[in-house]
Amino acid sequence: MDRTNEMWLEQLQDGHPQQADALEALRRFLKRGILAYLHTRSDLDRLATNELAQMSEDFAQEALLKIKAKAHTFKGKSKFTTWSTKIASNHTIGQLRRAKWRDLSLDVLTDAGTSLQEIISDDSGHASRPEVESERKQVWEAVISVINNDLTERQRQVLSAVHFEQIPMAEVARLLNTNTNNVYKLLHDARLKLKKCLADCGLEPQYILSLFG
């Protein structure tokens, strides 16, 4: 049956006689959406249909627990199912990202500076005036030079992993066989050194932000 926002919130509460039915209905709804999304991912083409089905089942169950725990934060500005779908989507994407980095070596990010240059090269696709594009290229070359020549290997790995590859800090810590506090310090030191070196070249943060904004 179709449920209103109020019905979802009421029936998902512990002790409600229809809680089990509501949870099952929401689980099926989320699983359909997650499975449809997984089928669109080219990086999952190698997986069999039953593997994708199991993955969607696991993600739906996990997302269901998050939704139940966060139900009290629902503001009613959209349909409850729309709100739930967003939580499930974020959870699914997060799980896939974590799985992606599980067997990754950070060495590939900084191999001779080549992959790093590809990572941070401007690929916005926005049309711009030739002089602006030329200016952007010069700034990026300065950024690349600082990263490759002034940062330590560890700082370079952490900076590229967290900012350019968007690997979660916990995963970076695992890949580097260290802890998150050390990763945070490496990232902090890398940012300071990058900022100082660029400032020495006459490139202030505000100027860089406005150039690429």
Q: All domains of the chain, ordered by start, with CATH? A: 5-101 (1.10.1740.10), 106-212 (1.10.10.10)
Q: How many other CB atoms are found less than 10 A from the CB of residue 106?
A: 20
Mean pLDDT (whole number) for 180-190? 92
Distance between the two ends of the chain, CA-based, in angstroms? 48
Distance, CA of 173 to chain centre: 16
Residue 102 confidence (pLDDT) = 57
Residue 139 confidence (pLDDT) = 81
Residue 15 confidence (pLDDT) = 94
Residue 118 class from Cβ within 10 Å (0-12 exposed, 13-18 middle, 19+ buried)? exposed
pLDDT in tens, 119-147: 334 444 444 567 677 777 788 788 888 88
Position 198 pLDDT exceeds 80: yes
Residue 27 confidence (pLDDT) = 95
User: Measured between alpha carbons, how far is residue 34 from residues 39, 44, 93, 104, 207 in Å?
Assistant: 9, 13, 10, 25, 42
pLDDT in tens, 76-89: 999 999 999 999 99
Residue 1 confidence (pLDDT) = 58
Mean pLDDT (whole number) for 22-26? 95
Residue 103 confidence (pLDDT) = 54
Residue 127 confidence (pLDDT) = 47
Q: How far apart are CA 161 and CA 190, in angstroms?
A: 12
pLDDT in tens, 92-121: 887 887 776 655 555 544 443 433 444 334
pLDDT in tens, 171-183: 888 888 899 999 9
**Which three-class secondary structure state does DSSP give residue 79?**
coil
Position 69 pLDDT exceeds 90: yes
